[in-house]
Amino acid sequence: MEPILEDIFVTVMEGDAAATPVNVQKALDEGLSATDILNDGMIAAMTEVGRLFEEGDYFVPEMLIAARAMQAGLGVLRPYLVAEDVKPVGVIAIGTVKGDLHDIGKNLVAMMVEGAGFEIKDLGTDVAPEAFIEAIREGASVVGLSALLTTTMPRIADTIAAINDAGLRDQVKIMVGGAPVTAEYAEQIGADGYAPDASQAARLASSFVS
């Protein structure tokens, strides 16, 4: 691997949001393609961060700062990706369901999924089913629904039902999560998948498009 890609890998893993964009610019100046920088430097680093999180060597703060470093690097890389016409692996519309204002976990999932190469449509918190439906009509192929309260968890099922009623269910994969949500609940309400944390959410999203 090019030494500068190794540098990017390391600065993303270490969550160095100052050095990552500098290294990305350096790699571009050295003539590396935006695609290689993204795949072999940044996405590779976020995959490793996910692995370390799952093994208990990294915790939420490490994952958050790595994701922020990745975002800082993406700020430099984005125009070059557009110029190279690099397509995202998919578009995910993610949001916290109606009545629920918790967004820390949802944001973490969005960052890790972006780290896996997806374009993110972040619909925010307190999101009505209609907003997810609109996002699907605009091209989202994956939907991520988050709920942190036992009282708002049923809104996940309502949202899936509304997507069904709109005749869009077969156009989209739906993944669900949040502290009260379980794999059994996900299956019961007809979601395509559940993940207990952001790292597994990124793998789940990737499995939908592979």
Q: How far apart are the first and last CA of the chain?
A: 25
Q: According to the binding rule CB under 6 A, does residue 50 interact with ligand B12?
A: no
Residue span binding ligand B12 (CB under 6 A) among the ranges 15-23, 24-32, 68-76, 193-201: 193-201
Long-range contacts of 52-59 (CB under 8 A, 24+ apart): 53/197, 53/198, 53/199, 54/197, 54/199, 54/200
DSSP category for residue 124? E
Tokens of 194: 């559940």
| Site mask for ligand B12 (CB under 6 A), range 150-189, x = bound | xx-----------------------xxxxxx---------
Strands 142-146 and 193-194, by their bridges, are unpaired
- Of positions 41, 95, 105, 129, contacts ligand B12 by CB under 6 A: 105
Does 66 interact with ligand B12 (rule: CB under 6 A)?
no
Q: Give dist(CA 10, CA 142) in Å, integer.
A: 30
Site for ligand B12 contains 149 (CB under 6 A)? yes
Query: 26 or 203: whose CB is closer to ligand B12?
Result: 203
- By beta-carbon proximity to ligand B12, the closer residue of 7 and 100 is 100
Please report, as ranges, the residues that interact with ligand B12 according to CB under 6 A.
60, 99-106, 108-109, 144-146, 148-151, 175-180, 195, 197-198, 201
